[in-house]
Amino acid sequence: MDKIKERLQHLRLEADNAVARAEEAEAQNKKYEQLLLEKEQEITSLQHKVSVLDADLEKAETKLADLKAAQEDGEQSKTANEGLQRKIQLLEEELDAADKNLKDAMDKLRQVDVKAEHFERQVTRLEQERDQWEKKYEEAQEKYRESKRELDELVATMEGL
């Protein structure tokens, strides 16, 4: 019986050890279940963060695409603006050249106008001179006719003598 008691005691000890191990395993199991629950919650939280970050990434990509499009529009506007600036510069240069040509033409017109006035005065003077010469010519013609008539009378008088 001692052996049985010993065996019983040994079985009790084994049972106590088994119960202790079982309790320890249950405690360990609860600990792992708690840890698993925490990890699942962390996974859920991280999945939520990932979805939020995906949405933020999509927004950022959309904003980046919009900014790139705006930059292209800005560059096109800049290119168009530069082209217009060059065109304005060319037109200003053409305007300056046209103004210079106009000024030169106006100067030449004034010179021609002055020369025309000078020639008109000369024409007027020459016409007056011509009128004087015509008057002198008519007077000389009249004197000639008068002298010829007198001469004819003198010749007729001399022939009658």
The predicted model scores a pTM of 0.42
Distance separating alpha carbons of residues 80 and 47, to the nearest angstrom: 48
pLDDT at 140: 94
What pLDDT score was predicted for residue 126? 94
Can you tell me the distance from the alpha carbon of 24 to that of 18, in angstroms, rounded to the nearest whole number? 9
Angle at 115 between CA 114 and CA 118, to 5 degrees: 90
| Residues above pLDDT 90, as percent of the chain | 74
Average pLDDT over every residue of 56-69: 94
What rounded mean pLDDT belongs to the chain? Answer: 92
Phi, psi angles (nearest 5°) of residue 160: -75, -10
What confidence tens digit (pLDDT) does each residue in 102-129 have? 999 999 999 999 999 999 999 999 999 9
